Amino acid sequence: DQQVKQNSPSLSVQEGRISILNCDYTNSMFDYFLWYKKYPAEGPTFLISISSIKDKNEDGRFTVFLNKSAKHLSLHIVPSQPGDSAVYFCAASAGPGGGADGLTFGKGTHLIIQP
């Protein structure tokens, strides 16, 4: 059973518009959430994170929203740029060390930004 779910395998968005990637989780013990971005033939790279004590974290064009009651988080990218085309992984951790205790990943969403 998947504890972190990304139900959209792919998403196509026009350049300049907003991209919204969604993630759901089932484990109530998760208290730290991260988004990773992955280009082909490269390892995942950290993008943005949020602690369960917050409901929003913003970094430039990227904002992550957390709805604990719904066990749902989303990543907003605005405006979307061609370089944002990649696979985005949602990840969660339940350990006291946050991401340092090993992460549970979703299967990823392939974001395609169209010119």
CB of 99 to another protein, least distance (A): 5
The answer to whether the beta carbons of residues 12 and 114 sit under 8 Å apart is yes
**Is 1 a residue that touches another protein (CB under 8 A)?**
no
**Is 104 a residue that touches another protein (CB under 8 A)?**
yes
CA dist 15 and 6 (Å) reads: 22
Selected range binding another protein among 16-24, 56-64, 66-74, 94-102, rule: CB under 8 A = 94-102
**Is 23 a residue that touches another protein (CB under 8 A)?**
no
The answer to whether the beta carbons of residues 6 and 95 sit under 8 Å apart is no
CA dist list (Å): 54 to 43, 61, 66, 67: 28, 18, 7, 9
CB of 9 to another protein, least distance (A): 10
CB of 7 to another protein, least distance (A): 13
**Measuring CA to CA, which residue among 23, 27, 2 is closest to residue 11?**
23
Q: Which residues bind another protein (CB under 8 A)?
A: 32, 34, 36, 41-46, 49, 51, 89, 91, 97-108
